[in-house]
Amino acid sequence: MATFAGCSSIGGSSNGTASGPTATKSPSSQSDALKSLTFEPKPKTSPRVMAHVELAADSRITQIGLINGMGNEVHRAFISARETVASFLVARIGDDPSERITRGENTLVLVGEETDVEIPVTYSASLELQEVIGPDESDGFPPSHRRNRRHIGLIVENTGQHADIAQKVVSEDGPHTEAFDKTTLEYDLDSMIKPGERKLLPVRNYLAELFDCSESYTREASMTLQSAFSEQVPFTQTFSYNPAENSCSLSLKGNYTVVEQTETKTP
């Protein structure tokens, strides 16, 4: 399919619903082949994003493709010329960035008997860190699956127009972290954050409380929240350890600080 080899940059709407496609064979003419393109988040144990395409009844499209912002093919499908709807996967929690739809501009390609169009599609997600909470600050944490290991929580909000998938927290200075798609007993973390949604993300096994401590002390940890589409969010948080029976109790000390490229911002 020659059209998939290179996709032109054509203006489109910011909400991911393509508008005003321009035919590559005749740039001055408009194509009405595409009626709508929407994205539906599928949460639960294996978060994913599906694209739903609705075509005009007389479009006679036989091939549908999606090229991401890196120029890589995310999807290609062959359909009957009589079909007017199609759904396909555009992102999963474990996908490499090159394998999924990307934040910003992507390109939908429609090929038919008399149609060959490239339609820009913008995917907009923006995951923001709102708060970091300690083990005793929420009833929304799942049960700990190891003795004396407790969760901290990240409260995040998606201020974009499309869903994002929280993937993991990476620590730069030692403490063990786990990806958000892990399970704790029968609890399955829903790491899909829909547009406008605010959600608590438990961080499992962040700092182990398996060892005794003879005195109280603090430790500052540097962490980075990673998601499928949004920019990474690096931040620091100070943790306080205090002697407890056969362990150290863990709590947060002070507010987290988001680390920007040239400055820090404390919420």
Contact in structure between 155 and 130 (CB atoms under 8 Å): yes
Q: The whole model's pTM is what?
A: 0.76
- pLDDT for 167 equals 85
220 to each of 91, 138, 223, how far by Cα in Å? 34, 22, 10
Tens-digit pLDDT profile for the chain (267 aa)?
444 433 333 333 334 444 333 223 322 234 589 999 999 998 877 889 999 999 999 889 999 999 999 999 999 999 999 999 999 999 988 889 999 999 999 999 999 988 899 999 999 999 999 999 887 777 777 666 665 566 788 999 999 999 999 888 877 654 444 444 333 333 345 689 999 999 998 876 555 444 567 788 888 888 888 899 999 999 988 888 888 776 777 788 889 999 874 444 434
